[in-house]
């Protein structure tokens, strides 16, 4: 008789199926951790102005850094041709260049490692040994393709700061696209991992599941606005709270034409939208928590909903401190990484409300 274990009140898994899911889930958690580390290093790269230090995209040869003084001088000479060096760092020495170079090199190297080694090789192994269920298999393949697309978006972003004489940093549009794509990958990996877990509670009511999914989307929207703030360096101006430029709602929010440009290019408008969307997200999360408490009193869903509200509140406080201090590196990184904590918990809350991936039916019992 094939031994089975209980997955929920209605379905069952064999020991082998459960073991395969557990192995794949732990691997996905490892990939998730590497992705968070990659975003962290990307944040350091951005805040130290290191992103334009490597002026060429060489996916294979670029793994090897300069190995001698001549190669360092050659790399530095390429950097000296771009606007960032001429306008911001004309007094930079070779030693200073090495500092920013290593951050960008580490960011690119880790990105290659994550998708070429940590994702692709285990994916091929699990696929070849038939440890992946169909739905998981194609989800993972999609994540791998998205990772390749993210690499192209990363170079597209960097190139925006290299090819124009009027830019000393990358385009805020492209930086936001690069960061939000990273968040999509993180959401996909974490949601897939959580979907392979065994939940003791039954799926929540449809209204709770929908609201939980909406919170994930709203968190992504707020992160996108935050990336625009970062791309425009908008956190280094209007460094007061709760007032902005002396008012709760500042004047002259829409001077650019067409009007939509203000929401992407006007420093004041972009920061204002990021602030007030944070307030809206906080209120919506609180409403969700009380709604879940009413529909599922004293449940894990209600507890997670209130924890999510608390995390969003804490992230808002981090954002206020970061703004008041004009974005020092520590607080800028903390605010960026904690945004991923909020997003991840929102995904976990939604995954628990939705329930696990339906267990496959054993061939024999």
State both tokens at 125: 């192994």
3-state secondary structure of 328: coil
114 and 33 Cβ atoms separated by less than 8 Å: no
Task: List CB contacts of 177: < 8 A, sequence separation 6 or more.
Answer: 153, 156, 157
pLDDT at 214 over 90: yes
Rg of the chain over Cα atoms, rounded to whole angstroms, equals 23
Rounded percentage of the chain residues whose pLDDT exceeds 90: 70
pTM: 0.90
**Where does the pLDDT of residue 361 fall: very low under 50, low under 70, confident under 90, or very high at 90 and above?**
low
> For residues 105 and 123, what is the distance between their CA atoms, to the nearest angstrom?
26
Average pLDDT over residues 200-223: 90
Helix (H) or strand (E) holding 4: strand 4-6
230 and 236 Cβ atoms separated by less than 8 Å: no
How many CB atoms within 10 Å of residue 191?
Answer: 18
Per-residue pLDDT at 2: 39
End-to-end alpha carbon distance in the chain? 6
Query: What is the per-residue pLDDT across 47-58, written as a single tens digit (0 to 9) for each?
Result: 999 999 998 888
**Dihedral sign computed on CA atoms, order 161, 162, 164, 165:** positive
């Amino acid at each position: 008789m094939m031994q089975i274990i209980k997955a929920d009140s209605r379905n069952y898994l064999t020991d082998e199926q459960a073991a395969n899911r557990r192995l794949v889930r732990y691997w996905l958690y490892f990939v998730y951790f590497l992705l968070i580390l990659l975003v962290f290093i990307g944040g350091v790269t951005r805040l130290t102005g290191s992103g334009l230090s490597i002026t060429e995209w060489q996916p294979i040869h670029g793994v090897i850094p300069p190995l001698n003084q001549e190669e360092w001088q050659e790399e530095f000479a390429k950097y000296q041709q771009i606007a960032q060096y001429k306008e911001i760092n004309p007094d930079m020495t070779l030693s200073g260049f090495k500092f920013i170079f290593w951050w960008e090199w580490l960011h690119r190297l880790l990105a290659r490692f994550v998708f070429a080694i940590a994702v692709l090789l285990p994916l091929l192994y699990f696929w070849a040994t038939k440890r992946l269920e169909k739905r998981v298999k194609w989800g993972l393949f999609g994540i791998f393709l998205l990772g390749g697309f993210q690499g192209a978006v990363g170079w597209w972003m960097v190139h925006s700061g290299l090819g124009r004489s009027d830019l000393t940093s990358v385009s805020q549009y492209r930086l936001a696209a690069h960061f939000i794509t990273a968040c999509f990958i993180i959401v996909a990996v974490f949601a897939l991992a959580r979907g392979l877990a065994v939940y003791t509670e039954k799926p929540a009511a449809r209204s709770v599941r929908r609201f939980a999914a909406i919170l994930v989307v709203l968190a992504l929207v707020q992160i996108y606005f935050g990336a625009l703030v970062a791309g425009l360096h908008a956190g280094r101006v209007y460094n007061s709270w709760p007032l902005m430029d002396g008012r709760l709602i500042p004047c002259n929010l829409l001077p650019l034409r067409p009007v939509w440009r203000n929401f992407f290019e006007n420093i004041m408008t972009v920061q204002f939208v990021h602030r007030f969307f944070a307030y809206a997200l906080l209120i919506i999360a609180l409403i969700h928590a009380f709604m879940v408490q009413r529909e599922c009193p004293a449940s894990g869903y209600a507890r997670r909903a209130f924890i999510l509200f608390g995390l969003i509140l804490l992230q808002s406080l981090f954002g206020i401190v970061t703004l008041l201090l004009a974005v020092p590196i520590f607080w800028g990184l903390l605010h960026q990484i904690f945004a991923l904590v909020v997003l991840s918990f929102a995904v976990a809350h939604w995954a628990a409300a939705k329930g696990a991936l339906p267990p496959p039916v054993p061939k024999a019992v």
